[in-house]
C-alpha cells in the first residue's frame, strides 16, 4: 500500500512539472518541463550517490578499520540475499547513518563515528537493517528523483518570475503563449509549495516502509526501536555539521543542525514517536 502511495506521489510530481511548464509558457514550456524532468532524473540516477557521499565527508573503510560494522552488514546482507554494499564512516560525533546508490549492486552505506560508538549490537543491527531495506526497495533512487523533480519545479517557477519581470513568458502565437496569465501566477506561487509537500510525503512513506522491512529482516523491532530512541536523544544534543539540505533526507533520522524552525512540519522524516509507535504494533512471525 505504501509503495502505491509513493508511486502516486511521484507521478504527481512529474505531472506538476509538466503542467507547470504548460501554464507558464504554453506547449513549449510543457515540452521543456518534460525534457527537464527526464534529464534531471537521469542525472540523479547516476550521480546522486557520489554527491551524497562527498557532501557528507564519508570516508571508505576496510574490514580492519571497522570490523563490527562489516560483521553486521555481511550477516544482514546475506540474510536479505543482497550484495555487500560499500561501507563508509562519516567523521561526525552525532549518531546517524544513510544508504545511497541507484540499485543494490551499486549501493553504499555510511555510518557516523558517533553511531558506531553509541549503539549496542542490537541497535546497530536495527539501523543497518533499516538502511539495507532502503537499498532493497530502491528508496534512494526514488527519493533522489523526487528531490530532483521538486528542485526543477522550483527552478522553473523562479525563472518564470524573472521572465514576467522582464517582459512576460513564452513565445510564439497568442494561442501558444499562456504564460503571464492567472494560471501562470497561481503556478508560480503554488507549484513550489505543492512540490515540496509531495516530496515530503514520498520521503515519509519510504521511512515507514524501511522501518517495517528492517524489523522483519532482523526478526524483531526492538533493536530498531531502541536505536531510534537513542538517535532522537543524541541528535538533539550533538548537532551535525556540514549537512547538505539536498542529502539530509537520506539519513535514518533528520540531522539536527541547530536553530531549526518548524522542523517537524517541513521534515522529510515522520516524527520519531510515530515511527516507534508503528514498530511497537508490529507482529513478526518466524
Tell me the catalytic residues.
Answer: 131
Whose CA is closest to 76, among 95, 99, 53? 99
Residue 88's beta-bridge partner residues?
60, 110
SS (H, E, C) 78-109: HHCCCCCCEEEEECCCCCCEEEECCCHHHCEE
Q: Residue 209 and residue 221: Cα distance in Å, rounded? A: 13
DSSP state letter for 251:
B
Q: Residue 62 and residue 52: Cα distance in Å, rounded? A: 20
Q: Residue 133 and residue 139: Cα distance in Å, rounded? A: 8
Let me know: does 145 contact 7? Beta carbons within 8 Å: no
Q: Which grid coordinates are listed for 187? A: 503556478
Amino acid at each position: 500500500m505504501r509503495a502505491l502511495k509513493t508511486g502516486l506521489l511521484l507521478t504527481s510530481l512529474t505531472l506538476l512539472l509538466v503542467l507547470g511548464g504548460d501554464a507558464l509558457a504554453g506547449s513549449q514550456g510543457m515540452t521543456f518541463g518534460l525534457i527537464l524532468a527526464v534529464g534531471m532524473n537521469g542525472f540523479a540516477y547516476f550521480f546522486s550517490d557520489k554527491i551524497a557521499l562527498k557532501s557528507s565527508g564519508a570516508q571508505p573503510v576496510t574490514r580492519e578499520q571497522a570490523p563490527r560494522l562489516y560483521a553486521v552488514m555481511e550477516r544482514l546482507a546475506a540474510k536479505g540475499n543482497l550484495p555487500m554494499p560499500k561501507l563508509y564512516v562519516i567523521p561526525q560525533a552525532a549518531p546517524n547513518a544513510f544508504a545511497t546508490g541507484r540499485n543494490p549492486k551499486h549501493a553504499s552505506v555510511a555510518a557516523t563515528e558517533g553511531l558506531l560508538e553509541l549503539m549496542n549490537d542490537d541497535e546497530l543491527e536495527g539501523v543497518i537493517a533499516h538502511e539495507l531495506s532502503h537499498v532493497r526497495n530502491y528508496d534512494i533512487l526514488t527519493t533522489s528523483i523526487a528531490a530532483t523533480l521538486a528542485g526543477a519545479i522550483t527552478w522553473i517557477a523562479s525563472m518564470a518570475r524573472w521572465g514576467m519581470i522582464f517582459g512576460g513568458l513564452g513565445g510564439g502565437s497568442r494561442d501558444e503563449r499562456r504564460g503571464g496569465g492567472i494560471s501562470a501566477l497561481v503556478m508560480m506561487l503554488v507549484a513550489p509549495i505543492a512540490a515540496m509537500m509531495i516530496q515530503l510525503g514520498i520521503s515519509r512513506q519510504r521511512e515507514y516502509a524501511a522501518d517495517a522491512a528492517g524489523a522483519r529482516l532482523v526478526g524483531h523491532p526492538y533493536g530498531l526501536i531502541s536505536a531510534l530512541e537513542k538517535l532522537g536523544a543524541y541528535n538533539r544534543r550533538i548537532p551535525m555539521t556540514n549537512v547538505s539540505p539536498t542529502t539530509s533526507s537520506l539519513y535514518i533520522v533528520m540531522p539536527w543542525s541547530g536553530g531549526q524552525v518548524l522542523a517537524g512540519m517541513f521534515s522529510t522524516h515522520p516524527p520519531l514517536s510515530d515511527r516507534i509507535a508503528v514498530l511497537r504494533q508490529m507482529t513478526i512471525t518466524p
